Amino acid sequence: MNKKAEEIGLVHSHFENSDGLEAPGHMMTPRDIVTMAERIYGDFPEYYHYFGEKEFTYNNIKQGNRNPLLYKDIGVDGLKTGHLSVSGFGLVASAKVGDRRIFMVIHGLDSMQSRSDEATKLITWAFQSFQNVKLAKAGDPLEEAPVWYGDAETVPLTVAKDLVVTLPKGNQEEIQGKAVFQGPVQAPVAAGQQLGKLLITSSSGSTEVPLVAAVAVERVGFFGHIFATLKYLVSPQG
């Protein structure tokens, strides 16, 4: 479990058992729980629907889902509740309204009712107060990187998937992006190969996403190699 946790980015987690009960050194942070929730949703879509089932009958015994948010009309379709004496009542939820999905973790509540109430407030606030803004579409060129010994002088840089940021609704703050890469890039270059990163800054904070080659660039042959070298030698170097 600890090896797999490290592989999927649970950098502040350590497991001493497989049942999640209290044990010295056994811990997860809310951030890591969100990471795991995102991986469950993204990696196992064929099983995710089970988290949204409101009831299950086995051996003529009906069991209701203990997630109170499933019974409210706020878009929740998972994931689970929890309770430990060291962390109180908690809940990790996933919800979708329109084309926007959010993940939420809450802990430290003193009762099942307060857990339900506070989780409802957080999810409602998230959907009412924030919006997703698409900054770039996957495949669209954002910058050109010079290429050394390639059959093209430059290669367009892009993002591998649509670049979407979450901002407060009505916020007209200026968002700035800066491409960072080391060039010239030496051919051959494969389409999708990471060549740098895009730094995005705003008053809300900063983040970075990988920049990849939008197309492939092949390496030139022997004579093309000589021509490129001569061109470099005779070009002004400033």
Domain check: are 13 and 107 in the same one?
yes
- pLDDT over 60 (residue 157): yes
Please give the pLDDT value at position 237.
Answer: 46
Q: What is the CA radius of gyration of the chain?
A: 25
Domain check: are 121 and 164 in the same one?
no
Domain check: are 165 and 219 in the same one?
yes
Average pLDDT along the chain: 90
Q: How many domains does one find in the chain?
A: 2
Domain check: are 159 and 81 in the same one?
no
**CATH for 204:** 2.60.410.10
Domain check: are 142 and 212 in the same one?
yes
Please give the pLDDT value at position 183.
Answer: 80
- pLDDT over 90 (residue 160): yes
Mean pLDDT for 32-56 is 96
Domain check: are 54 and 80 in the same one?
yes
Q: Is 113 helix (H, G, I), strand (E, B) or coil?
A: helix
DSSP E strands in the chain: the ranges are 55-58, 61-64, 76-84, 88-97, 100-109, 130-136, 143-148, 154-158, 163-168, 176-181, 185-186, 194-202, 205-213
DSSP H helices, the chain, are: 2-7, 30-43, 45-48, 112-129, 222-234
**Least confident interval from 24-33, 66-75, 178-187:** 178-187
Q: How far apart are CA 210 and CA 232, in angstroms?
A: 29
Where does a domain end: 130, 151, 186? 130
Domain check: are 99 and 18 in the same one?
yes
CB atoms within 10 A of CB 152: 16
Please give the pLDDT value at position 207.
Answer: 87
Domain check: are 88 and 163 in the same one?
no
List C-alpha distances in Å: 161 to 37, 40, 132: 20, 19, 15
Domain check: are 122 and 26 in the same one?
yes
**CATH for 92:** 3.40.710.10
Where does a domain end: 97, 130, 163? 130
Domain check: are 181 and 123 in the same one?
no
Domain check: are 92 and 153 in the same one?
no
CB atoms within 10 A of CB 171: 14
* Tokens coding 94: 């996933």
Q: What is the pLDDT of residues 164-217, one digit of tens each?
A: 888 888 766 678 889 999 989 999 999 999 999 999 887 777 889 999 999 999
Beta bridge partners of 108: none
- pLDDT over 80 (residue 219): yes
- Residue 26's domain spans which residues? 2-130
Tokens 């809450």 map to which residue? 106
Domain check: are 86 and 69 in the same one?
yes
Mean pLDDT for 215-229 is 70
Please give the pLDDT value at position 80.
Answer: 95
Where does a domain end: 84, 106, 130? 130
Q: Under a CB-based contact definition with an 8 Å cutoff, are residues 66 and 91 in contact?
A: no
